[in-house]
Chains A and B, each alone.
Chain A
Amino acid sequence: MLSLEAICKRFGDVEVLSGISIDIKKGDIVGLVGPNGSGKTTLINVVTGMHDADAGRVLYGGRDIIGLGSHHISRSGIARTFQNLRLFPRMTVLENVDAAQHGLPSYNLYQLMFGDREVDKNHRQKSEWALEQVGLVDERDRLAKTLPLPQLRRLEIARILARDPELVFLDEPAGGMTPAESEAMAMLIADRVTPGRTSIVIEHKINLIAQVCRRVCVLNAGILIADEKPDVVFSLPQVIEAYLGRRKVNA
């Protein structure tokens, strides 16, 4: 479904991505891990159209989507969350979830202005349902900026659910959460987000990756160094070395 071919990206003098190639099939649930600075978020940014790639192609449904612009890519069925948590702080929780649907192809300018009873009702129902799924129904009228972090992370998930994309990128969905909260988030993702949906999850928390994903790609310094099942990948020597550094050999 999504095919990354030899993606290269540099910022100034630094080569952040050096020829990344990953093939993702429909229904895959892929974890993307690697030390800080290995290029994970940049990779998502390139695929979702926020940055241009210096080289390589991204094939989605057979079409190269490099250079398309993030709103086109979003409208073709790819959604993402953000590592540093992006929401509309001055809108309510419900409005934030609604907002995720305003950009859908089902809305053109005329409908945005004048509304369409059927479409509007559908979307409102989806928003309510999404809030229910993540347990935020009681907070629906609160301004987003008054919510604590774990609830904001769940709001991001609600947005994804309401949007119902074919392909989703979750960028550190448990970022800043305690182990107990991460466990709850892992269950939420495994129960509601990934079933039947192609997903790519970036995380540092190995437990979450192990619980949610069926396949793990490891990035280090812009290069893909492993692509295996979760139980195999974390015992690979090159992966351990990437995280912990090379073991010093004394004579």
Chain B
Amino acid sequence: MSDYAVSIVSNMGMIAFIALSAYVLLVVGNISFGQQAYFGIGAYISGVVTAMWGWPLWLAIVLGCAVAGSAALVIGTLTLRLSGIYFAIATLSFAEMIRLGLLSVHVQVEIDGELVGPDGAEGFGDIRWIFENDVTPFEFMTIIYVLLIGVLMVLVWVERSRLGAVIRMVGGDPLLAQAQGIDVVFYRLLATVFAGIIAGLGGCLYAHFTTYIEPNVFNVMLGVHSLAYGLIGGLGTAFGPLIGVGLDIGFLEGIRVFQGYRMIVFGGLVAVLLIFMPRGILDEERVHRIKRWLERS
């Protein structure tokens, strides 16, 4: 596989994490413009753990996800009373605060004669774990996809369980769910924390793949894109956001012929698609019909 292809496929894999994160929140009924904050937190924390403290990668991932999940819990609790556009703007504000805050973080240690660590707008480079451990891009790509498949399996399994039904109930009509005995607050927070962890995991992988991260990567564009992937690919299943990611990154990279007009073409396609399929390609109805078709044959 060419280096270029490995890079594209790895990118898709990492972005898939944040797309799934936004998707989980959409399913539980919240529009989030801020999942990039947890992606960024995961990236920075894991970078600090391996590049500055010299600890192993698995520990970096665990810590990155833990911090991202905790942040999600805090923000989730603060925004409990909000929904719809209020929630969206609140998450956007939080994410921007994180990004702007990171621009002012200058914490570096000296390792082997060089300064390593987050340096505000100059970014955080030298996240060397893959070089120090002789991991090829192809091998790292497999790590990404093994973890992604793991997350997918969890999501698919939850979706088929009663927990998945409860989450969709909370997202579909929280008043009705509450009237039927579901503790909406608990399940909303559960989904929020899980979404934060998924995004954080993606961020950890991103930091170690690119070896250099800077705050402006984790901006609102990334956040709204990840929301868009779920909506384009469909909210009926966890594979929906993956389709969205595949369409954007894979397709766009593929049609190099449109160089310079890519966004015009892609933007137009998305707008037209949403006219006919407002809940995405694999929305609940289509998934339902596919399931019935599979059962019958």
A and B touch in the complex (CB under 8 A): yes
Known: A88-B172, A90-B284. A71 touches B161 (CB 8 A): no
B179 touches A88 (CB 8 A): no
Give the docked Cα–Cα distance between A163 and B288 (Å): 25
Residues on A with C-beta less than 8 A from B163 are: 109, 112-113
Which of B169, B184, B292 contacts A99 (CB under 8 A)? B169
CB-contact partner of B183 in A71, A92, A113, under 8 A: A71
Are A107 and B162 within 8 A (Cβ)?
A: yes
Residues of A within 8 A of B182 (CB): 71, 102-103
Docked complex Cα distance between A89 and B179 (Å): 16
Q: Which residue of A lies closest to B285 (CB)?
A: A143
Residue-by-residue, is A37-68 near B (CB-CB < 8 Å gives 1, otherwise 0)?
Answer: 00000000000101000000000000000000
Contact B292 A95, beta carbon cutoff 8 Å: no
Within 8 A of A (CB), among B144-175: 158, 161-163, 165-166, 168-169, 172-173, 175
Is A80 a contact partner of B166 (Cβ separation < 8 A)? no
A226 within 8 A of B: no
Tell me whether chain B's interface is mostly helix, strand or loop, or mixed.
Answer: helix
Kindly state the interface size class of chain A when it binds its partner: 35 or more
B177: CB under 8 A from chain A? Answer: yes
Q: Give Cα A112 to B177, complex, Å.
A: 15
Indicate the member of A48, A98, A99, A107 with the most B CB atoms within 10 Å: A99
Interchain nearest-CB distance for A72 vs B (Å): 8
In the complex, whether B136 has a CB less than 8 A from a CB of chain A is no
Contacts of B288 in A (CB 8 A): 92, 143
CB closest residue in chain A, given B162: A112
5 cross-chain pairs, A with B, having the tightest CB-CB distances, nearest first:
A103-B181, A74-B181, A112-B163, A90-B284, A103-B180
Given contacts A74-B181, A79-B180, A99-B169, 13 further A-B contacts (CB under 8 A): A90-B172, A90-B285, A95-B165, A98-B162, A98-B165, A102-B182, A103-B166, A103-B182, A104-B181, A107-B162, A113-B158, A113-B161, A159-B180
20 CB < 8 A contacts A-B: A71-B180, A74-B178, A75-B181, A79-B180, A86-B173, A88-B172, A90-B284, A98-B162, A98-B165, A99-B165, A102-B169, A102-B181, A103-B177, A109-B163, A111-B162, A112-B166, A113-B163, A115-B161, A141-B292, A159-B180
